[in-house]
Structure 1
């Protein structure tokens, strides 16, 4: 299936493979272990699904036995790609969910072909790492207390193939990588996606990869030097990457702004998930009301005003942990947001002060516990 065709490259999807064949020499910068780094002799860059996202043990074992070099040759042979001149990236994402986004200004054009999934190993830059590379492989340095992914986690890798239609210097491509990474991260931040390694918001996954290509300058052509966000090239790269990754997350993981509009979407990374809410209701409410709460929890979680209040609470927690809200006011600010959440769930904003007084005795609790209590207490007051 031909997905993108220009006078410089042709991008095709073939089974589990997505690959671009260059029609003229390109300068390529990629993260590939084989044929990666800066290259000017590549004929193809490719992405492929190397395994299923969850519990594909037999496939993992076979890939591990082959080793990176032999597997590269094996995979290239499967797609009839020349192994010596192909930069090949791997993912568990479905190539049928690949998206091509385009952006242009005057004579300049950028095409981004992406696959993306974040539910398996989303991380935030600076999260604790679990592995340290050694000459003979990687060793575990700590047992990271990762939050469990959803049962049907989907893939956990963002792969971007980026094509610029005009020659660029090596330094320009390095800067382009930074802008592409920012575009990917803003797509995740716009959806407020949680890291699975910390309580922070995700900026990517632990296995993200990319390749960026620009044609080599011919006689009389000049090379672009700038790809910052102050420059049109940087704008196009950031915009196309953001659009491609956002669309991929919908296709691969079913993630979109509307479905992130929930109380748990805002607060699960701080410890307020459905299990916590049900447990809190069982403790704080009588049996009949607790059952009513549990039966109506899905509708409650998706209430737009309650979700808005929950995101306000989550932002206060984030600002406190970042030090923007200093310690002397952080607890009070979080308490105020929790009271607002309770009043919003109750659909009785005039009772804000009452809820603040109810929650004040628990203000030293962990934010997720305080948030769950606010939701449960708000629900109880909704009907009396």
Structure 2
């Protein structure tokens, strides 16, 4: 195995190491699990390791003539781990930006090891497809949220699947909390187009649980680990935080409009206008006004509100609650584009 640096260990003896472009988790107990990987994907017993690997542009080029499974087998060999007893996830996020979160409750312990990149590939379930696959041939972009979940209890296959669903829903919560936009529609992202999850239980534990859903304490711990680890991993990888998202301009970014069209027709000194706009965009009251108007646009797009009703309300909100000229100007542009 390559030179490695320990970044995590838990009560069951699992250890996670950074090995150049990978995070390798060596299990201290016999584990079963479910993985979305091409390598030993689905349900499997007797996992000994799992890994998350940074896919460089050079390696993306390698994939043009090889399958993902072939690539993962190759990485297993490079990492010195047995490919029959491992599973691997691929991402464009740097391993140094991974986040590990562990939660406890009585005898329960759950950990999530997460990397997250959402700048170029964030998408919403139901967005237009990026590719059509036939006979295994397709191409894809990497952005990717990868999550490895470890539990210290014994879970049957159905319960592991239940936990995977909980982790997936928690991922969506984390993205929604940060108002991450889809890159392919005007909606909020629910993930990226290439996300991966692997969840494992401890087959040696005498504590066998039957539910990992939202009503169970196990499900709660899984969700909290995933939400916290994704939020921090996004911060480390792409510098998106709750503070950075508290901006009118950040909120408007998810709508597919040509901002240059707006700037070319403002009738003001462009440089001075942009300077004033950037300053006013950070004001909490302006963010609140923008958010209210954008919510009305969402309601119309989802066919929950009549466009005329939404236009009247948006107009009233803007006129009565916004005093900054640049914000008035840009929000008026949005209202006219989407609600008039």
TM-score above 0.5, yes or no: yes
How far is the alpha carbon of 1:46 from its aligned partner? Answer: 0.6
The list of structure 1 runs, each at least 4 consecutive aligned residues, that deviate by more than 6 angstroms after superposition, is none
CA distance in 1, matches of 2:169, 2:334: 36
2:248 matched residue in structure 1:
263
2:154 matched residue in structure 1:
167
Give the gaps of 5 or more residues in structure 1: 141-153, 371-384
1:381 matched residue in structure 2:
none
CA distance in 2, matches of 1:180, 1:232: 13
- Per-residue displacement from partner, 1:359-379 (whole Å, max 9, x unpaired)? 6xx8983139x8xxxxxxxxx
How far is the alpha carbon of 1:327 from its aligned partner? Answer: 4.1
2:306 matched residue in structure 1:
326
CA distance in 2, matches of 1:210, 1:139: 20
CA distance in 1, matches of 2:13, 2:50: 13
CA distance in 1, matches of 2:50, 2:203: 16
CA distance in 2, matches of 1:73, 1:245: 27
How far is the alpha carbon of 1:111 from its aligned partner? Answer: 0.3
| Corresponding position: 1:32 with 2:42 | no
1:155–1:201 Cα change, 3 Å? same
Give the gaps of 5 or more residues in structure 2: none
CA distance in 2, matches of 1:274, 1:2: 46
Instruction: Say whether the 8 Å CA contact 1:158–1:207 is kept in structure 2.
Output: yes
2:22 matched residue in structure 1:
17
1:364–1:248 Cα change, 3 Å? closer
- Per-residue displacement from partner, 1:160-201 (whole Å, max 9, x unpaired)? 000011111211111111110111111111111110110001
Aligned length: 333
2:82 matched residue in structure 1:
82
How far is the alpha carbon of 1:73 from its aligned partner? Answer: 2.3
| Corresponding position: 1:3 with 2:7 | yes
Instruction: Say whether the 8 Å CA contact 2:6–2:15 is kept in structure 1.
Output: yes
3-state SS in 1 of match to 2:129:
coil
TM-score by length of 2: 0.89
1:207-222 correspondence to structure 2 within 5 Å: 207-217=194-204, 221-222=206-207
State the superposition RMSD in angstroms. Answer: 2.6
1:367 matched residue in structure 2:
338
Bigger radius of gyration: 1
TM-score by length of 1: 0.80
CA distance in 1, matches of 2:52, 2:37: 10
1:223 matched residue in structure 2:
208
Instruction: Say whether the 8 Å CA contact 1:270–1:314 is kept in structure 2.
Output: no
Instruction: Say whether the 8 Å CA contact 1:118–1:155 is kept in structure 2.
Output: no
1:193–1:276 Cα change, 3 Å? farther
